[in-house]
Structure 1
Amino acid sequence: MEDTYTILQIIARSWGAMFMLLVFLGVILFTLRPGSRAVHRDIADIPFRHDDRPARDTDTQARTQPLKEARQ
């Protein structure tokens, strides 16, 4: 009779590898599924959403001021 570690090692090598392969293929298929192109385009355009107008002066000043420490 084999010890528990060897049995778990055999299961992890065979079924664990198969499980990880199926999860990997599932993620790839979920990403490339039909109908997801619009979602991916929308996400890719996030950095360029507000490119048509410059930032306001108040936004720039707020970013340059040092942050206050939460604990005192």
Structure 2
Amino acid sequence: METYTLLREIADSWVLLAMFMFFLGVGVWAFLPSQARNREDASLIPFRNDNPKAKCSGTCASCKCADDALNFKEPRNV
């Protein structure tokens, strides 16, 4: 048996099985209850650098927000 043929048979069976077991292990590890905090942290990555906007009460005399709220052009879902 040639070396190439032997290595090809090993790769086709045992290495494929080892890679599949590794894939299953990573999948199980990712969904363990102890990883919940890490999953939540990863899900909030897009919002990390967002600065919250200041709330406008719309009561000041020069408030542009109050004018915009009265002159909307598109229907709003309330």
Coarse TM-score class (shorter-chain normalised): 0.5 to 0.7
The alpha carbon displacement at 1:29 in A equals 1.1
1:8 aligns with 2:4: no
Percent identical among aligned pairs is 36
Match of 1:52 in 2: 52
The alpha carbon displacement at 1:51 in A equals 3.9
Unaligned runs of 5+ in 1: 55-72
**What root-mean-square deviation, in Å, do the aligned CA atoms of Structure 1 and Structure 2 show?**
1.8
Unaligned runs of 5+ in 2: 55-78
TM-score by length of 2: 0.58
Corresponding residue SS for 1:52? coil
User: With CA pairs under 8 Å and 6+ residues apart, which has the higher RCO, 1 or 2?
Assistant: 2
Figure out how many residues of one structure are paired with residues of the other and give that number: 53
